[in-house]
Amino acid sequence: MAKADFAPTGAPEALEEATRGSLDEPQVRAMFDRIALLYDRMNTVMTAGLHHKWRRRAADLAQLSPGGRALDVATGTGDLALELAARVAPGGEVIGVDFSERMLEVAGAKGAARPGIRVRFETGNALALPYPDGDFDAATVGFGARNFSDLSRGLAEMKRVVRPGGRVVILEITTPRRPPLSTFFSLWFDRIVPALGSAVDTQAYAYLPSSVRRFPGPDELAAVMARCGLRQIRYVLTAGGIIALHVGVV
């Protein structure tokens, strides 16, 4: 596991274009609506179940306390939101927001099955969050930032809704640069994942590798966070450098 503190040096202007999605928002929303019922199963297959561990680590980095209030952006089927909710109990609240209603239906069923956990799932757009400034102690996004059609705008919105001193946490897949892991990563994400996903949704699981390739590397993502006004940015690489967890302070 590698750790790094980030000292902002500025991001190249070309990065702005690289952080924009290859599909427009209606296409991405429709894609996630289609795969919602099989999304969790495919995540487990593709990560050998390790995605739960990574979400727990992201929740730890949010540094929430009982009675706190947190927002999980692009919450999908709600796993990270539920991790956060366990950390603010008793008395706290977590909101999970997503633009895919089908994904939120799955998330809501999970939340209903855990009556001791206080979490609410709502429809919303990550680029225009429907919450006041400074409304939360932390905001997180797990495996969803690469789907933002405008990364800088999405991160700026997350920063806006977090109180001063609170944290913004990003959990994402990143592309390893050195063999042998880079060779394995290329084989797995460029060939095996699309093959596995073809039985579910060919477009969705062809989109996954391309979205990972397009997404900024750890230093570049930290630079975008700095440009959005976040401070004390650091990141952790785990799973041999395939997973990056970034955290910044508002």
Of 103-117, 156-170, 197-211, the poorest mean pLDDT is in 197-211
Quick one: which of 87, 140, 139, 80 has its CA closest to 111?
Answer: 80
What does the pLDDT read at residue 6? 59
Q: DSSP states of 170-206 as a string? A: EEEE----STTHHHHHHHIIIIIHHHHHTTT-HHHHH
Q: What average pLDDT does this structure show over 182-189?
A: 73
pLDDT band at residue 9 using 50, 70 and 90 as cut-offs:
low
What does the pLDDT read at residue 21? 46
What does the pLDDT read at residue 95? 98
pLDDT band at residue 172 using 50, 70 and 90 as cut-offs:
very high
Contacts of 191 (CB under 8 A, 6+ apart): none
- Residue 84 pLDDT more than 80? yes
> Residue ranges per domain, the chain?
2-249
pLDDT band at residue 14 using 50, 70 and 90 as cut-offs:
very low
What does the pLDDT read at residue 160? 98
pLDDT tens figures, 30-76: 989 998 998 898 888 888 788 999 999 999 999 999 999 999 999 99
Quick one: which of 72, 231, 236 has its CA closest to 166?
Answer: 231
Q: What average pLDDT does this structure show over 135-163?
A: 97
Q: What are the angstrom distances between the C-alpha of 94 and each of 2, 74, 89, 159, 241?
A: 30, 13, 10, 16, 29
Distance in angstroms (rounded) separating the CA atoms of residues 192 and 189: 6
Residues in the chain: 250
Chain Cα centroid distance, residue 132 = 21
- Residue 27 pLDDT more than 90? no
What does the pLDDT read at residue 10? 47
pLDDT tens figures, 192-248: 777 776 767 777 777 877 888 889 999 999 999 999 999 999 999 998 889 999 999
What does the pLDDT read at residue 5? 67
What is 2-249's CATH superfamily? Vaccinia Virus protein VP39 (3.40.50.150)
Distance in angstroms (rounded) separating the CA atoms of residues 18 and 211: 10
- Residue 191 pLDDT more than 90? no
